[in-house]
Structure 1
Amino acid sequence: MFYYVSKIAWFFATPSNLLISLILLGLMIALVPSARSLGIGLALSFTLATAALGLLPIANYILIPLENRFPPFHDDGKPVDGIILLGGSVEAAESAARGTIVANESAERLIDTIKLAHLYPKARILISGGGGTVFGEGIAEAPIIASFLESLGIDRARLIIEDRSRTTYENAVFSREIAKPKEGERWLLVTSAWHMPRSVGIFEKAGFPVVPYPVDYRTSGSVTKQRFFAFISDGLRRLDIGTKEWAGLVAYYAAGRTSALLPGPQDAGGKVSR
């Protein structure tokens, strides 16, 4: 139920969707003769707000605290027992239809996992990503990625496929069930930097300690060096991502699925829960 409610609610609350809806609402109000001025005023105001939110670097200021929460991973010479790749880097339906991997703007998740696979040749690789949608079952991402990794020469015996999850919470719970991490094992968690705080909080709460490996940065990390976006769509896309992630942090904390509102380095690397 949490999954369906969150997906439906977010569809209407997504900034880009909400702004367009408000513009249309203003235009509808303008059709009423007695409220024509009000409707035009509302439509114009929300149109200007859409342009401002799309062009100004507001979205970057929302993302920077998330992306800067965990430092980049640097090899410290310690052994790595496993690598967890969270889904979201591949378009599963398009990949299946084309018969080849179709990556999206989060492709760094997959690219860096390939790099880690070669850097730590003994580490297991857990690919977590199902294909559930609000309106039915979609095509799971994990098996598609697994096949791609095999085609690159990565031993199939190293791969663990978790293809049931639809949310980050399910990523963590199902991954722990299938990987069965042992006390003292070291697992790297590969996901987008802006998604890392929520992911770490959820995995730790689920009893699966992880070492953050953030990738897919969308900002430079500097608050003072932000520029206007060249296209309104670029700014709105980034705004959607940032606001959704902050909303997710609040919702998961309120639901007790994380122990902190904004998990940080101090929340990573706990003990395996038995």
Structure 2
Amino acid sequence: MLALEKIVASLIMPPGLFILLLLLLTIYLFKKSDSGLIKLTSLFLLLFFFLLSTAFGVQFLLHPLENYAEEISVNAFERHPIVVLGGGLNYYSKAEAKPSVHSLQRLVKGYQLHRRLKTPLIYSGGIALGQDRISEADAAGELLESLGMNLEFYISENQAQTTFENAAYLKKWLEENGVEKVYLVTSAYHILRSAAVFEAQNIDFLAVHSGFISDHQFSWLDYLPNRGALTSNLSALHEWVGLAWYYLRGRI
């Protein structure tokens, strides 16, 4: 009974509802339309949206990114500064903002490393586009202080708005302070692009991913349309597009 409820729920709530509607539209177009292009477009959209909304897409889009991160991440024992890359803010008002789920995951990992190694923690993240008050780095500093971190060890890089700018601003700081190697902390799905950018700017780093955003072992329910898969796949798709864009721009 519970399994039946899960199946029904996956089809009457987005994204499953949208896929069901696309399926009905595709069947209708195949019966009524004489245009092969319209039929192929409808079929492509159906399959693409189904891929994005299920574990099939997670395996194809997300897992290669996260598996790569798992392969190159190290256990942190050497004493190097810790660089945490921002992953966005949730703005509650003009005067209040908190790290997003992805930023919080990265920040927690960075703080754990700091407590173990007693080395500086550098958080890189500026003011989000369309906002004008609170930077990611400032919000991260407030959170770390509330957790008991001595802010003498905290370095705020509050200008960067992209992964490319994360590396550019950090490279300048590293050169000014004579730092030769850092730990690079970011989400597993973001490691491939951020590592490529850091390598392109000749920054010596040791990668430490802050965790996965999706399961790597699935049940049959994961192959039904679900919001979790859609969210994970959109993050992965953003990374693949970002990699292509950075390559075309000569940034990696």
Contact 2:99 2:140 (C-alpha < 8 Å) held by counterparts: no
Q: Which moved more, 1:148-157 or 1:193-202?
A: 148-157
Q: Deviations over 1:117-149 (max 9, x none)?
A: 21111x11111001231x564631110111221
Supply the distance in 2 between the matched residues of 1:202 and 1:130 (Cα, whole angstroms): 18
Match in the other structure for 1:120: 117
- Structure 1 pair 187–57 and aligned structure 2 pair: CA distance change class (3 A): same
Mapped to 1, the partners of 2:105 and 2:89 lie a distance apart of: 10
- Separation in 2 of the partners of 1:153 and 1:95? 25
Q: Which of 183, 189, 199 lines up with 1:188 in the alignment?
A: 183
Is 1:69 equivalent to 2:68 in the alignment?
yes
Per the alignment, residue 154 of structure 2 pairs with 159
Deviation at 1:61, TM superposition (A): 2.1
Deviation of the 1:102 alpha carbon:
5.0
* TM-score after normalising by structure 2: 0.73
Distance 2:78 2:87 in 1: 28
Q: Partners of 1:229 and 1:102 in 2: how far apart?
A: 31
**SS in structure 1 of the partner of residue 68 of structure 2:** coil
Which one of the candidate residues 232, 241, 246 is aligned to 2:240? 246
Letter in 2 for 1:73: V
Q: Tell me by how many angstroms 1:208 deviates.
A: 2.1
Question: Aligned-pair distance for 1:216?
Answer: 2.7
CA distance in 2, matches of 1:119, 1:181: 26
Is 2:174 aligned against 1:176? no
Alpha-carbon shift at residue 184 of structure 1 (Å): 6.7
TM-score (norm 1): 0.68
Q: Deviations over 1:80-120 (max 9, x none)?
A: 2x1111111542x22765x5745424532011111112111
Q: Identify which of 88, 92, 95 aligns with 1:94.
A: 92
Percent of matched pairs sharing the same residue: 26
Secondary structure of the corresponding residue to residue 92 of structure 2:
helix
CA contact (8 A) 2:110 2:185 kept: yes
Aligned to 1:267: none
Structure with the bigger percentage of helix: 2
Secondary structure of the 2:74 match is: coil
Q: Deviations over 1:160-197 (max 9, x none)?
A: 11111110000110122234366673311110111111
Letter in 1 for 2:123: I
RMSD: 3.4
Gaps of 5+ in 2: 1-14
Structure-2 change in CA distance of 1:57 and 1:164 (3 Å): same
Aligned partner (choices 187, 193, 196) of residue 201 of structure 1: 196
Question: Could you tell me how far 1:56 is from its partner in structure 2?
Answer: 4.2
